[in-house]
Structure 1
Amino acid sequence: MAKTFFFYDLETSGLSAREDRIMQFAGQRTDLELNKVGEPINIMVKLNDDTLPAPEALLITGITPQQTVEEGYSEAEFAKMAVEEFFTPDTIAIGYNSVRFDDEFMRHLLWRNFYDPYEWVWKDGRSRWDILDVVRLTRALRPEGIKWPVDDEGQPTNKLELITKVNGISHDNAHDALSDVEALIDVARLIRQHQPQLYEYLFKMRDKKQVQQLVNLDDKKPFVYASGRYDRPYQKTTIAFPLTSAPHNNVLVYDLRYDPKPFINLSQAEIEQKVNASWQERQAEDFQALPIKPLQYNRCPAVAPLGVLAQNDGWDKISLDQKTIEKHLKLLLAADGFAEKVRTVYENRPEFAKSDDPEAQLYDGFLSDADRLRVEAVRNSTPKQLVDFHPEFQDERLPELLLHYKARNFSRSLSEDEMRSWEEWRAKRLSRQLPKVLESLQQIASRDLSEQEQFLMTEMNLWLES
């Protein structure tokens, strides 16, 4: 089967894939030459009555919870469509900041609905790609032929709606999922047209095995790296060096833009303080961030060999020179024990706050083969079969997850005890969400709202009351 792209975008009830929900899904399949294949997909997903959306999300998307209920599919219905119709074998899932945002929402939705949360982007020829870092590296190294926007302060910005605007691409309804998908296809075409060599190279580098050949600890060498974690004035691009191993078989890389002297003699405790510093602590005038970050091989990082800088004034474009890089690298390599201290800090660092909610415990471990079979049996069961279906799961997350799955999608399959347990959990979840929602509503009420915005906030309040 020929490989195809499936460009997709989500509109969600908030920013947390663990806590918030998908409200709109849009997608368009294309061939690898970016010609559209078939009709676009544009659907709503029902918001359940256990979720209070962020009021700001409604103002941005223009979608109300009531609209999702009236027009949308249940999560179980949508999950089935996603796996069987959208992300089919040999499909390359592609989006804009999708690896860090949309893909995470998809994973959590599939987890809640008893589908494998990973297979949709790797099994049977499937893969994924993220155009945001492609945009970043193109802007940094090969900007010719494309107009690049700046924000009100004159700083570079890669917002999709601004890139389309300055390049004359139609994008009338930014933050509508389908409009964003169509705009993204046009931006991909723009890069492919004007910088085809870089486009094809980064398309190949979406494969983690290709990234590992360039960035590894067996043959350490500096490389070009574009990431949202790097500085805006330098187009989010730098020269990095693989320093030491990171959790989950990844690698920690050092930003060679920065002199290692202030960091290489720090104690492990001092390094830990910098790595785990809060947002408030990082705003202090004298705070020096540790110029180290994990590079995750399976997240389609935009990386390239130093040779790309030899053309088109590459070094000047990212405000670096070989002498500075060589000087910083020499200091880094001579720093005995520094890499080991950094590795230990990252190994002991909690990846995210622990939760007692099984819906937020996706990354707490993989399922056993036996439980994978039971999970498949759950999603293949009819509502009637679910009434008396009580699998003997090995994983302690799954019994409660099954209760939630039944309650959201097949509430009539619940016993009285199950309904009572569900209502207790739902009440706790809503009470946890409520203070932040009320605070947001109060702040929004002080603004001068348009008629449409007033309507959205009225709908929000009605959802809250119900």
Structure 2
Amino acid sequence: MNYVFYDLETTGRNSTWDQIIQVAAILTDDKFNVIDKFEERCRLKKGLVPYPEALIINKTSVEILKNVNLSHYELTKKIETTFKKWSPAIFVGYNSINFDEEFVRKTFFKTLFEPYLTQFNGNKRVDVIGMTRASKFYFPDCLKVGINEKGNQVFKLDVLTELNNIFHNAHDAMGDVDATIEIAKILQKNSNKVWNAGLKNNNKIDVDNFLIQNNIVCMDEYLFGKFNVHAVTYICKNQFNYPQCFDLLHDPLDYIDMSIKDLKIKMKQKPKLIKEIKNNKNPILLDSSVIDKMPVYQSIGMEVLIHRAEIIKQSSDFKNKIQTILFEEYETKQMTKSQIDIMPEESIYSGGFPDNHEKSKMINFHNADWEERFYIANQFKDERYKYFAHLLIYEEMPHVLPKSDYENIHKIIANQILSTDNEKWNTIPKAYHELDNLREEYERQGNDEKLLFLEDWDYFLQDLEKQYQ
């Protein structure tokens, strides 16, 4: 199966409110031979306030964004068209599951395309950063990684490329894609067991099957900069359909006859009794053949671990108690959940899927001219899609909107970006504050180049503020 290695540069880290400004992707075969390439930039969306530091990191000036012909919507259409043309494939990135994938998914959602393109129609997705962490643990000599002042391993892409003699134009989308391919080559060669595990566990069904077929599964977790491994056995799923597993570090005989009340207390104590596996996040799962690389579990002994896993497997009552506890915790959280209205941009995971009528209107919308798109926009039954359609027209062809619709959207954006509250999105006051802090830092450093960069963005914010005041 072919690979699509891709990377994004964005105006910030919030996939709900920030935007893609650069994309690069390389289609390769399973031997990493290049078949095709794709790279584009786009302008800022109307009324979007970027984070100055993010633009410094990805070297994006006001001048660059002003001289780009593509709008954000046009870029999104090109991404969607290219990814469809290259499908079916395995979509690969570096920290892509938590970052790039979320940006692509939410961008498609807000521009009325299929959000789950990289998972549907035979497509799969994997994340090289998870493979890299696991590879370094199980096969320490497979590649070099950094070490920070706390003694923790550092897996930043630019650190890995420097230590492993890989040429890397860092924080440029195509540069990061090239670097990710080189890291992937190293992992496939020097840590083939982990590489294959990453490719195999790329969707919920494969992960679930692996857990059912193997009484003992070796999983990893990365929390607060530290990597840990655990030998576990499957118990049940929670309300989010995530597998819950018993950590075989513990003796199940100490727990299986406990009451639900006592189990609740134990489940909150450390080391954790139950480990959760996010089966949609490309977890690296290995079988018991790597136990000898896990000192704590190796000292317990394979025979004991097998016995513990078998006890859990046969303890239906214990599994039911765990499931009951998880259900009760979920119900409690739902009751105490904030009642603040979810905004359309935030509703991808809570607002339901579009029905066939809505899907049909989305296709019609993209195929129509802009005048007709306004009439199609008003045919959406779901208010979210109607709002997104009007917003796209506002951004691309504002004169098509009736005056009242234009003013309504303009006012919504103005209220958002001029707000003096600590909003979830970036605002002009927050951006000014960030500029002031960065200016102070660069003045101390005597960095005239970056000070000039900040001056340009200061003028940009002033102009934006005038447009929406």
TM-score normalised to the size of structure 1? 0.84
Q: Which residue of 1 aligns with 2:75?
A: 78
Match of 2:321 among 337, 360, 364: 337
Q: Establish whether residue 368 from structure 1 lines up as the match of residue 355 from structure 2.
A: yes
Match of 1:379 among 360, 363, 366: 366
Question: One-letter code of the match for 1:295?
Answer: I
Q: Which residue of 2 aligns with 1:412?
A: 399
Q: Establish whether residue 162 from structure 1 lines up as the match of residue 159 from structure 2.
A: yes
Match of 2:277 among 283, 295, 306: 295
Match of 1:228 among 219, 222, 232: 222
The answer on whether the counterparts of 1:75 and 1:409 sit within 8 Å (CA) in structure 2 is no
Match of 1:187 among 183, 186, 194: 183
Residue-by-residue CA offset, 1:261-304 (whole Å, 9 max, x unaligned): 89x87859977996xxxxxxxxxxxx968565542322211111
Q: Larger deviation: 81-90 or 315-324? A: 315-324
Q: Larger deviation: 239-248 or 416-425? A: 239-248
How far 1:320 moved relative to its partner? 6.5
Indicate the structure (1 or 2) with the bigger Cα radius of gyration. 2
Q: Larger deviation: 84-93 or 299-308? A: 84-93
How far 1:455 moved relative to its partner? 2.5
Residues 51-450 of structure 1 aligned to structure 2 (within 5 Å): 51-71=48-68, 73-88=70-85, 89-118=87-116, 120-171=117-168, 173-216=169-212, 221-229=215-223, 232=226, 235-257=227-249, 267=261, 292=274, 294-309=276-291, 313-316=292-295, 321-322=300-301, 337-346=321-330, 349=333, 355-363=341-349, 364-430=351-417, 431=419, 432=423, 433-434=426-427, 435-447=429-441, 448-449=444-445, 450=447
Q: Tell me the secondary structure at the aligned position of residue 40 of structure 2.
A: strand
The answer on whether the counterparts of 2:12 and 2:50 sit within 8 Å (CA) in structure 1 is yes
Residue-by-residue CA offset, 1:125-155 (whole Å, 9 max, x unaligned): 2221111111121111123342232223332
| Structure-2 separation of matches of 1:109 and 1:182 | 24
How far 1:75 moved relative to its partner? 2.3
Q: Which residue of 2 aligns with 1:284?
A: none
| Structure-2 separation of matches of 1:90 and 1:328 | 41
How far 1:381 moved relative to its partner? 1.6
Question: One-letter code of the match for 1:396?
Answer: E
Residue-by-residue CA offset, 1:310-341 (whole Å, 9 max, x unaligned): xxx41239887447967987998696834421
**Measured at CA, do residues 156 and 365 of structure 1 come closer, stay the same or move farther in structure 2, by a change above 3 Å?**
same
How far 1:418 moved relative to its partner? 1.0
| Structure-2 separation of matches of 1:165 and 1:378 | 46
Question: One-letter code of the match for 2:210?
Answer: L
Unaligned runs of 5+ in 1: 275-286
**Measured at CA, do residues 452 and 253 of structure 1 come closer, stay the same or move farther in structure 2, by a change above 3 Å?**
farther
The answer on whether the counterparts of 1:393 and 1:399 sit within 8 Å (CA) in structure 2 is yes
Question: One-letter code of the match for 1:73?
Answer: L
Aligned residues: 442
How far 1:28 moved relative to its partner? 1.3
Q: Tell me the secondary structure at the aligned position of residue 24 of structure 1.
A: strand
Q: Which residue of 2 aligns with 1:280?
A: none
| Structure-1 separation of matches of 2:393 and 2:461 | 23
Question: One-letter code of the match for 1:358?
Answer: P
Question: One-letter code of the match for 1:438?
Answer: Y
| Structure-2 separation of matches of 1:304 and 1:319 | 15
Q: Tell me the secondary structure at the aligned position of residue 446 of structure 1.
A: helix
**Overall identity of the aligned pairs, in %:** 22
The answer on whether the counterparts of 1:268 and 1:345 sit within 8 Å (CA) in structure 2 is no
